[in-house]
Chains A and B, each alone.
Chain A
Amino acid sequence: MVSLSSYLLLGAFLFAAGLACILIRRNMIQVLMGVELIFNAAALNFVAFSHFTPSSLPQLALSGQVVALFIIVLAASEACVALALVLSVFRVFGTVHIDQVGELRG
């Protein structure tokens, strides 16, 4: 059987990829994609731990999946609000390039 560690390793890889996406890319929408990757990494860890629950605590078995569902809902609302922000930034500045939206920089 596949062990818990391999799922956690994949979660860590997804997290690192999302972090790299946020730090490297200069387009706001691609930064959002990185945030979605990080959400998925966290949810994958929760579901993996809910599958590998000790059998002495059966009431915990589904809690990880509940939290993962909450994460999906939060990601949906986050994507909604963030895209609205990106659209209004595009309307004001005419670009979605992060470095060019620096009005408040001293």
Chain B
Amino acid sequence: MADIFYNLAFTIFATMTAVAAIFVVCLKNLLHAAVALFFCLSGVAALYILLGADFLGVAQLLIYAGGILVLLIFGIFLTARIYDSNIEERKNKYSWVMGVLTSVTIFGVISMVLSRTQWPLKATTYSPSTKGLGELFLTKYLLPFELISVLLLFAMIGSVILVRKELKEK
């Protein structure tokens, strides 16, 4: 019985993610694409929770859907002229065919490999992951943890320096 619900939930969220990803690629209006990206990221968060990664699912919702997406929408408002229709004008008219061909080929190769591989793995049981994650961050992964916090600081300072207005002396 639980399996049926699990399969149903996986089917719903995976379909939502995949369809939203297609919309992100195909929609020309940037704001519509951003809304589609929101549904895609939320679907991935739901899949994380289905995979037993509860903390990660919530972090995905908070950071991706709540932070990065809002940042992207701010970027859209600050740069794109939304009603400017020739933003998609390209030098080579049929260059998009090559892009579609490349990605379809790569997806085909990966799915062929996946269909031929037998994984000798079984699903682990569900348990709260937050405590284990915290312990790992402070023991085994302490150095990457500290490095990535320094990296965040650098990214913050760097982006402030990149977008500030130059103050003219005299």
Contacts and interface: CB of A to CB of B under 8 A. Distances in A.
Chains A and B are bound partners? yes
Interface of A: 1-10, 12-30, 32-34, 36-37, 40, 43-44, 47-48, 50-55, 61-63, 65-66, 68-70, 72-81, 83-88, 90, 96-97, 99
A88 B162 contact: yes
A1 B119 contact: no
A30 B104 CA distance: 19
Secondary structure type dominating chain A contacts = helix
A43 B123 CA distance: 18
Nearest to B52: A51
A52 B47 contact: no
Given A1-B3, A86-B79, 5 more contacts: A44-B47, A50-B51, A52-B119, A53-B124, A84-B160
A17 B51 contact: no
B118 to A, nearest CB: 9
Contact of A13 (B18, B141, B144): B18
Contacts of B17: 10, 14
A13 B78 CA distance: 31
B18 A80 contact: no
Interface of B: 3, 6-7, 10, 14, 17-18, 21-22, 24-25, 30, 33-34, 37, 40-41, 44, 47-48, 50-53, 55-56, 59-60, 63-64, 67-68, 71-72, 74-76, 78-80, 87-91, 95-96, 98-100, 102-104, 106-107, 110-111, 114-115, 117, 119-124, 129, 132-133, 136-137, 141, 144, 148, 151-152, 154-156, 158-160, 162-163
Given A1-B3, A30-B33, A87 B79 contact: yes
Nearest 7 A-B pairs (CB), nearest first? Answer: A23-B99, A77-B155, A84-B159, A16-B107, A84-B162, A20-B103, A17-B21
Contacts of A74: 148, 151
Contacts, number: 236
A22 B103 CA distance: 10
Nearest to A88: B162
12 contacts: A2-B50, A5-B115, A16-B107, A24-B100, A29-B30, A29-B79, A48-B51, A66-B141, A68-B56, A73-B152, A84-B160, A88-B163
A50 B129 CA distance: 11
Contacts of A32: 72, 75
A85 B99 CA distance: 24
